[in-house]
Structure 1
Amino acid sequence: MTDIVIASSNKGKINDFKVIFSDYNVIGINELIEDFDVEETGTTFEDNARLKSEAGAKALNKTVIADDSGLEVTALDGAPGVYSARYAGEAKDDNANIEKVLAALEDKTDRTAQFVCVISMTTAEGHTETFKGTVNGEITLAKIGENGFGYDPIFYVPDKNKTMAQLTAEEKSEISHRRKAIDQLQVFIEGAE
């Protein structure tokens, strides 16, 4: 079984990759490098994904995949965007982030939003490719559902008539922004083989 190294310590994100890449041995980079952490100084999802995959590939001298993803809310001019994980502060508290988004939308009628995921793959030789996936939805008035992580409980997917947090891991993996980016990555990898 081939290993796929993911430059993330986010258990929810790593689980998403495990469901999608079920034929591979998905390893979080912190299993190989203690306290791997890259400061996300980029202004776009692509910038931050590249920073992580390039640092991981350089440190391990092997191919590393990283992603940067988040929520973009139309009425908030694309916020929280690249600051999605720490929107309500450095503690990266999902509930606090959700409450801040809901409070910011209290007087707004436009609740459209999208989840964005950019995956960056850097080879041991330092070559990097990026792949972007999005899923459109709306922000609910309150949290609904127990599954998922991050903003999933307030992200309603009209096609499914459910929030991301009401979907099973398998259902989410079929439609998610991460899945769409990974599908492009898989096509690229298969084309390169």
Structure 2
Amino acid sequence: MKQLIIATNNQGKVREIKAILGNFYDEIKSLKDAGIVADVVEDGDSFHANARKKAVEISEMVEGDVLADDSGLCVEALDMAPGIYSARFSGEGATDEKNNVKLLSLVKDQDNRRAWFVCALVLANGGKEKLYVEERAEGKIIDEPRGENGFGYDPLFYVEEYGQTFAEIPPEVKNKISHRAKALKKLQEKVQEM
């Protein structure tokens, strides 16, 4: 039986990954589902470094593959912030809502709203990195949240091609065009070549 443990407890990420890689593994579990309590400190200087650290450390504790992602939002006018600090952008006790409020306050006087989501994925097994991929999704930041789907910065991330935010785009469409979807597709292709 081929098992994949996703190095997260973020149920939004788990849903997206299961929807895309579900046919490739017999079982896909979050850390919580697998009974793993691990608090890997994300102190890397890039999305890749953080994803690698999580995947490698957790793969030393379990049998089978471990998939870790590090993803975030980069806003051009903010010197690529929040970047690797996206989840904790608003400081101690950060929530999606607080992060979005801070982002809106920083971009309110900016003409350049160009932004992109980045997703770095690392697949590890037995304490070693096996595969690494990175992809991005382009968009811009709008003035107020729109939509009920998604999580994180999705309600502010507007995709011009669709005329909607990531939180308005139906999940089945987002799971084809998002940074994570693109990275997972690339990862899936590489896994099949192994």
TM-score, shorter chain, exceeding 0.5: yes
| 1:12 equivalent in structure 2 | 12
Q: Distance in 1 between matches of 2:93 and 2:162?
A: 32
TM-score between the two structures when normalised by the length of structure 1: 0.95
Q: Unaligned regions of 5+ residues in structure 2, if any?
A: none
Q: Which moved more, 1:123-132 or 1:85-94?
A: 123-132
The amino acid across from 1:84 in the alignment is S
Partner of 2:118: 116
Contact 2:31 2:37 in 1 (8 A): no
Q: Give the helix-richer structure, 1 or 2.
A: 1
Could you list the runs of 4 or more consecutive aligned residues of structure 1 that deviate by over 6 angstroms after TM superposition?
A: none
- Residue 135 of structure 1 aligns to a residue whose secondary structure is strand
Alpha-carbon shift at residue 125 of structure 1 (Å) = 5.8
The superposition leaves residues 12-41 of structure 1 with CA deviations (integer Å, 9 ceiling, x where unpaired) of 111111111232332102222432220101
Is 1:179 the counterpart of 2:181? The answer is yes
Contact 1:50–1:128, Cα closer than 8 Å, also in 2? no
The count of aligned residue pairs is 192
Identify which range, 118-127 or 36-45, moves more after superposition: 118-127
Tell me which of 35, 38, 41 is aligned to 2:40.
Answer: 38
State the identity %: 39
- AA at the equivalent of 1:148: G
Answering whether residue 84 of structure 2 is matched by residue 82 of structure 1, we say: yes
Long gaps (5+) in structure 1 = none
Higher mean displacement: 150-159 or 128-137: 128-137
Distance 2:129 2:82 in 1: 30
CA-based RMSD: 1.3
CA distance in 1, matches of 2:36, 2:125: 21
What is the TM-score of this pair, normalised by structure 2? Answer: 0.95
